[in-house]
Amino acid sequence: MRRLLSGIRKTTQPLSHEDSMVRTRINVVALIAITSGVCVLAGPARAADAPLAEKYLVNGQLADGAKALQARLAADPKDDQARFGLGVVQFLQTFEHVGGSLYKYGLRTEKSFLQPPPEVKEFLPQNPKPETMTYPALRQIAQIFVNDLAKVEQTLSAVKDPAVKLPLHVGQIKIDPWGQGKPISAAFLFERVGDADNGPVEKGHLAEHVASLVVGFDRADVEWLRGYCHFLAAAGELWLSIDGQHAFDCTAHLFFEKVETPHKFLLEDRTALDDDVLEKVPAIIDAVSFIHQSTRVTIKEPERTAAALAHLEAGIVRAKAMWEFALAEADDDNEWIPNPKQTGVMGVPVTQKMIDTWLETLNEAEQVLKGKALVPLWRGKEERGVNVRRAFLESRTIDPIEWIQGTAATPYLEKGPLTKFATSDLGTRLNEAFGGPFRIAAFGFWFN
């Protein structure tokens, strides 16, 4: 994290492609962190132009903001800026709800082996008087997460104005990550953490820089956020599809301070792995058990894997719609994701070649999910492939080891056209357009 934070520097000099990519990765992580509960230089918006949502976002008053925006929409149903703002508020509330629940049940942020740095630890408090976590309670948290995302998507789907704008001081947006009435902003985090090697002046400069960050979100970004809702919901549905009771009974004590488990002795010799690892044998064995439990799980609710597949397909549709809106834009107003004629607040050029190659990638992923293009099996002499759609709809177990071996794929092997992902041509063009595998991943995370 310190390296990430120290990487942001204000500059008036043109960025090289390498430096631009570094800034991209830093800013994408910073924005997603503040907008998902886990930013980009532009002049500050004028107070008169500030949307209603920003008042509540920068004050960390998300619940009040949702009510105010809903009231605005009741009075003026055509106010798509308010509707877009409501979607953003609801998206952030999604992660506040998850964080508040995890705090309520005593997520082991201080006593677990995943020890955060001292500067960050104060933002990850552990509940001194947690409630007992049960498997049904854990599933309920995941279900609320999926439900909240569906609410966001429903709100954003009603945005119709192609000229809608939502300028926001992203670095000043506050969220309450643990539901303790203590909202924090990205600027505050940068100020407190900063770079341990830099002095107070540098830290203050960094926080000031982050606080001035403005993004002019527009119609294309509505689709961008809708896409992320679908992809996150897909992950939630997949997790809810499995029967994780046994894994919970054996390993939940690693993550929560008080858990309901038939194996009471697991709570008696539990320690943190923040000292000598070799002296923490029970915790090491428990970690191995967690990995073991993750290697073969039963799908108890197959309708949820079908729902996950539908979310992935919808996410691709939204991603392609985002580019339709982005390519139609003629302005250059603090763009989050620019078209080739725009500068964009990231300072990273997006070329038509990048967009064309990425759209081809999305189209190919869509064909794979529809079962019209097969993923080749890595072993054997015959030309055949896995029908991914059938794997989603027909699987009743998830066994990563057998999938790596290939035996789990046997029921879904077919002969037919193989995906372009199996050819070197698409991979070569992706590398040429984006500059290598790491940059493909970084742009993919950014583009959605």
Q: Beta strand pairing status for 165-168 and 184-185?
A: unpaired
**How far apart are the C-alpha atoms of 401 and 194, rounded to whole Å?**
41
Q: Scan for tokens 């939630």, then name that residue.
A: 236
Work out how many domains the chain is built from and give that number. 2
Rounded to whole angstroms, the Cα distance separating 171 from 222 reads: 19
Tokens of 300: 């108890």
Specify whether 362 is located in the same domain as 268: no
Residues 6+ apart with CB under 8 A from 253: 259, 261, 266, 267, 270, 286
**Cβ-contact 253, 133 below 8 angstroms:** no
pLDDT band at 109 (very low <50, low <70, confident <90, very high): confident
- Do 148 and 244 belong together in one domain? yes
Sheet architecture: strand order including 375-376: 375-376, 385-386, 413-414
Distance separating alpha carbons of residues 407 and 336, to the nearest angstrom: 44
Nearest CA-CA partner of 97 in 41, 183, 177, 2: 177
Q: Are residues 305 and 360 in the same domain?
A: no
- Pair (383, 303) in one structural domain: no
Residues 15 and 93 in one domain: yes
- CA dist list (Å): 236 to 15, 242, 260, 290, 309: 38, 11, 22, 19, 12
Please tell me the number of Cα atoms within 13 Å of 432 on its side-chain side: 10
pLDDT of residue 296: 87
Confidence of residue 5 (pLDDT cuts 50, 70, 90): very low
Pick from 248, 370, 239: nearest CA to 304:
239
- 114-148 pLDDT tens trace: 566 666 667 778 899 999 999 999 999 999 999 99
Highest mean pLDDT among 115-129, 209-223, 328-342: 328-342
Could you tell me if 98 and 219 lie in one domain?
yes
- Is the pLDDT higher at 119 or at 92? 92
Percentage, residues of the chain above pLDDT 70: 80
How large is the average pLDDT for residues 9-25? 42
Answer yes or no: is 342 within a domain: no
Chain centroid, CA 172 distance in Å: 19
Name the CA dihedral angle for 398, 404, 406, 407, rounded to a multiple of 10 degrees.
-40
pLDDT digits (tens, 9 = 90+) for 40-68: 333 333 444 689 999 999 999 999 999 99
The 3-state DSSP class for residue 185 equals strand
Is 303 part of a structural domain of the chain?
yes
Alpha helical stretches, state H, 262-347: 281-294, 302-328
| 333 backbone dihedrals φ, ψ, rounded to 5° | -115, 80
Same domain, 370 and 324: no
Q: In this predicted structure, what is the pLDDT of residue 279?
A: 62
Instruction: Write the pLDDT tens digit of every residue in 191-204.
Output: 665 544 444 445 55
DSSP reduced 3-state for 391 = helix
Q: Which secondary structure element, helix H or strand E, spans residue 363, and what is its range?
A: helix 352-369
- In sequence order, the β-bridge partners of residue 397 are 298
Beta-bridge partners for 215? 168
Whether residues 291 and 367 share a domain: the answer is no
| DSSP H or E run through 398 | strand 397-398
Tell me the two tokens of residue 12.
Answer: 């008036």
One domain, residues 366 and 218: no
Q: Is residue 335 part of a domain?
A: no
Residue 251 and residue 262 in contact, taking contact as beta carbons nearer than 8 Å: no
Average pLDDT over residues 175-201: 70
Judged against a pLDDT cut of 60, whether residue 104 lies above it is answered with yes
| 314 and 369 fall within a common domain | no
The mean-pLDDT minimum among 112-126, 327-341, 356-370, 392-406 falls in 112-126
20 pLDDT more than 80: no
Q: Is 96 exposed, middle or buried (0-12, 13-18, 19+ CB in 10 A)?
A: buried
What pLDDT is stored for residue 52 in this prediction? 97
Q: What is the mean pLDDT of the chain?
A: 85
Alpha helices in 2-107 (DSSP H): 2-6, 17-35, 52-58, 62-75, 80-104
**151 in a domain, yes or no?**
yes
- Residue that finishes a domain, picked among 296, 328, 360: 328
Among 63-67, 110-114, 364-368, the minimum mean pLDDT is found in: 110-114
DSSP E strands in 204-250: the ranges are 215-218, 242-243
Sole residue written with tokens 């054997």:
380
* 59 shares its domain with 115: yes
Q: Quick check: 185 pLDDT over 90?
A: no
pLDDT of residue 324: 97
* Residue 337 resides in a domain: no
Mean pLDDT for 212-230 is: 95
Asked whether residue 375 is domain-assigned, the answer is: yes
Boundary of a domain, candidates 294, 328, 362: 328
Q: Could you say which DSSP state residue 107 is in?
A: B
pLDDT at position 25 is: 43
Which helix (H) or strand (E) is 298 found in, with range? strand 297-299
Alpha-carbon gap, residue 19 to 7, rounded angstroms: 10
* Domain range for 209: 2-328
Largest Cα separation within the chain, whole Å, is 67
Same domain, 176 and 296: yes
Residue 284 within a domain: yes
In a domain, 346, yes or no: no
pLDDT reported for residue 13: 41
Note the pLDDT of residue 382. 87
Return the pLDDT at 11. Answer: 36
Neighbours of 353 (CB within 10 A): 13
* Percent of the chain whose pLDDT exceeds 90: 64
Q: Give 404-448 as a DSSP string.
A: HHTGGGGGGEE-SPBPGGGSHHHHHHHHHHHSSHHHHHHHHHHH-
